[in-house]
A = this chain, B = another copy of it.
Amino acid sequence: MTTTTNQLLLGDCLQKMNEIADSSVDLIYLDPPFFTERKHKLKNRQRTKEFSFDDIWKQESSYAEFLHQRILKMRDLLKDTGSIFVHCDKMANHIVRGVLDDVFGSEYFQSEIIWQYKRWSNAKKGLLPSHQNIYFYSKTHDFTFNKVFMPYSEATNLDQILQRRTRDKHNKSIYARDEQGSIKQADAKQGVPLSDVWDIPYLNPKARERVGYPTQKPLLLLERIIALVTNQNDLVLDPFCGSGTTCVAASLANRNYIGIDQSEDAIELSQTRLDKPVKTQSTLMQKGRKAFEQANIQALQCLANIAYNPVHRNQGIDAILVEHHHGAPVLVKVQKEAETLQQAKQLLRNAMNVKASKMGFLIRTQLAQDEHSAEAKQDTQDQDTASIIYVIETVELSIRRRYA
């Protein structure tokens, strides 16, 4: 049997998976639906002194049964080098784990991935839920895995890490030295293996990427999973594809895909997204939180000795000073490379209107086309609102100016 790839199938995956050849899939990702009705049944149950596992499972059995049947079939579809990633509802992760241990075997459990994100807070008593669990099992020990390396920790003595080590006669670890007694260097290192805790921004409620599916996942999450355990032209299957994120990510990464869903709407939506994929264009999404911190280094350096709160994700403002001025916040904006001074000023002015700010600082970083225009040099006083924008230059710009 040959499998037609790059298609979306409408129906229960239990049936539809029969259209896929055994041992043909490289990665299965699923976020199975979770039926919350069961939960309430538990409420009034009697606690018994004599413990039986059946008690736990009876409550969950219909769900576990549902999942078990399907995951059994999924295992057959996987190549020997294939992997499965199962996204868990927080009320059911023990059930999912139990089923996976049964079908794949606990020795093929690779990782519990924690997808961590910051989120808008709620008023709930307790801790703010800010993670989800993804279980990663491989079919065999010979699974495809593309190693990813991350930077060393800031607290690491990196120069020492690069020294070769050995053990002395007491089996104590020491640095290796050559005949002259100088330290031997280790081979080139690439960094630290990727951790099982992933800090990936939660899909912002207003993101363009969002298509209205409650459990929609960020593309970045799926892209990372796909990059980790598949290669180009491999086949990715999502048996509960929903809004189609997995398929879109696979398609963007030049992998083949098959998506299955019971809902006609889901299939239609997925197809639309596949025809014209939209990925949220935010610095945070693309480069991660670290890059976000560095993106504005220049701006922050200018402010090095002033007490300020950095502001991200706002075109008009890069920082708000801690000190207020006449009871209103003082805003700071750094001119971006692509902005003319005019544009930058207007953005800051808008922001100041919204924030009712009376004082703003605009930090120039770019030479103007017409260096002699009045606008380029003067601070701006807005007649209506009595607010003022001071224009400041970076040191570097003032040097370049003398050459202009």
Q: Which residues of A contact B (CB under 8 A)?
A: 39, 42-43, 45, 47, 49, 51, 53-57, 61, 64-65, 68-69, 72, 90-91, 93-95, 97-99, 101-103, 105-107, 109-114, 116, 118, 121-122, 124-131, 133, 136, 145, 147, 151-159, 162-163, 182-185, 187-197, 201, 283-284, 289, 292-294, 297-298, 300-301, 309-314, 317, 320, 322-324, 327-329, 351, 353-357, 395-396, 399-400, 402-403
Contact = CB atoms under 8 A, between A and B. Distances in A.
A80 B43 CA distance: 17
A332 B372 CA distance: 41
A164 B167 CA distance: 63
Contacts of A125: 145, 147
Nearest to A39: B106
A155 B399 CA distance: 33
Nearest to A47: B103
A106 B42 contact: yes
Contacts of A69: 51
A286 to B, nearest CB: 12
Interface of A is mostly: mixed
A91 B111 CA distance: 10
B47 A72 contact: yes
B151 A182 contact: no
A94 B102 contact: no
B197 A130 contact: yes
B284 A155 contact: yes
Contacts of A42: 101, 105-107
Given A94-B98, A106-B91, A201 B320 contact: no
Contacts of A154: 289, 292-293, 310, 312
Contacts of A155: 118, 201, 283-284, 289, 292, 312-313
Given A128-B193, A154-B293, A297-B300, 12 more contacts: A47-B103, A51-B65, A51-B69, A98-B98, A114-B131, A118-B153, A128-B194, A130-B196, A156-B312, A157-B312, A158-B311, A399-B400
A114 B116 contact: yes
A56 B102 contact: yes
A396 to B, nearest CB: 6
Contacts of A293: 154, 293
Most buried by B among A42, A103, A113, A127: A127
Contact of A145 (B49, B126, B152, B162): B126
Contacts of A133: 112
Contact of A127 (B49, B56, B111, B301): B111
13 contacts: A39-B106, A42-B107, A47-B105, A53-B53, A93-B93, A93-B97, A112-B131, A114-B131, A156-B312, A159-B317, A182-B356, A185-B357, A188-B322
